[in-house]
Amino acid sequence: MITAQDVNKLRTMTGAGMMDCKKALTESNGDFEKAIEILRKKGQKVSASRSDKDAKEGSVFIKIADDKKEGVLIALNCETDFVAKNEEFQSLGKLIAETAFTKKPASKEALLNEKAGNLTIAEKISELVGKIGEKLEVSSFIHMTGEAIVPYIHAGSKLGVLVSLKGVNGKDVTEAGKDVGMQIAAMNPVAVDETAVDKTVIEKELEIAKAQIIAEGKPANMVEKIAQGKLQKFFKDNTLVHQAFVKDNSKTVAQYLDSFSKGLAVAEFKRVSIG
């Protein structure tokens, strides 16, 4: 016979609802281990049944090494802002970031298979899905190393940036890194500079530019030259180091960094936005 004490014990152990605990204990004939497994499976079923739902809310979580030479950024998505602010959701996000930092998996898929205690991250997610009834997913996982890794999280924790700086020369460049992180959050550059822009993006921009030039009736022999000019304007507006620095428009980002510390530059960056 399943007692109220048994149900309460399982509820305390798992955090699942009273009726779910009672059903799991009944199905497992009072075996707590099997009941916990049943509840986890229920979480997986909830996740599967909600796979068509949009998980456009959530939070980003960042973990940086004490020496600031390594960092991870993960985005944990859910369906509602209410759940994103839930303490258990926030705790799970921090646990996933900590696990990613400690275990250093090669991919998001590998991260889901890493263990945190007795359960894998995927199982931890399914467990919480079973309790809250919303779709949850790790939408992004970034691991970065460099001379100095500086994090920036935008208000609301829905947008996170990792910046890797080079030419640090032993200086504390946290302030500069956060300024650049804010720039990246606000201006969403496509790459550090023109050499890092994807070739397909360049081809697309040239194609658009040429179509515009032809439509304007410019001479055919001028199309290529004008298109290249437009491409350079695209690089100026959309690559990080050439953008006007948001806190001082008289400088580019590259000039700001060099003025902060001679030779300081951006090696790479990653920007993750939820929603």
With CA atoms as reference, report the closest residue to 14 among 38, 32, 36, 41.
36
pLDDT grade, residue 155 (50/70/90)? Answer: confident
Contacts 24+ apart (CB under 8 A), 244-249: 245/179, 245/183, 246/182, 246/183, 246/186, 246/187, 247/179, 247/182
The pLDDT tens digits for 7-38 are 988 888 877 888 988 999 999 999 998 988 88
Q: Residue 160 has what pLDDT?
A: 97
Q: Residue 15 has what pLDDT?
A: 78
The pLDDT tens digits for 191-217 are 999 999 999 999 999 999 999 999 899
Q: Residue 202 has what pLDDT?
A: 96
Q: Residue 175 has what pLDDT?
A: 97
pLDDT grade, residue 95 (50/70/90)? Answer: very high
Mean pLDDT of 85-107: 97
CATH code 3.90.1210.10 for 51-145: no
Give start-end residues of each CATH 1.10.8.10 domain in the chain. Answer: 4-49
pLDDT grade, residue 114 (50/70/90)? Answer: very high
Does residue 45 have a pLDDT over 80? no
Backbone phi, psi, residue 153, to 5° = -115, 125
Q: What CATH number labels 4-49?
A: 1.10.8.10
The pLDDT tens digits for 235-270 are 999 999 999 999 999 999 999 999 999 999 999 999
Q: Residue 275 has what pLDDT?
A: 79
Give this prediction's pTM.
0.82
Work out the angle between the directed axes of helices 223-238 and 199-215 (0-180°, nearest 10).
Answer: 130
* Residues 136, 50 contacting (CB under 8 angstroms): no
Mean pLDDT of 45-56: 76
First-to-last CA distance in the chain? 47
Q: Residue 49 has what pLDDT?
A: 75
Does residue 148 have a pLDDT over 80? yes
Give start-end residues of each CATH 3.30.479.20 domain in the chain. Answer: 51-145
- Helix H or strand E encompassing 236: helix 223-238
Mean pLDDT of 147-169: 96
Cα distance between residue 234 and residue 194, in whole Å = 9
Alpha-carbon torsion (182, 186, 189, 193), positive or negative = negative
User: How remote is the C-alpha of 53 from its chain's centroid?
Assistant: 19
As separate numbers, helices (DSSP H) first and strands (DSSP E) second, the chain gives 11, 10
* Residues 58, 134 contacting (CB under 8 angstroms): no
Does residue 52 have a pLDDT over 80? no
Does residue 93 have a pLDDT over 80? yes
Does residue 133 have a pLDDT over 90? no
Q: Residue 234 has what pLDDT?
A: 95
Q: What is the mean pLDDT of the chain?
A: 93
Mean pLDDT of 139-163: 96
Q: Residue 156 has what pLDDT?
A: 87
Does residue 174 have a pLDDT over 90? yes
Does residue 46 have a pLDDT over 80? no
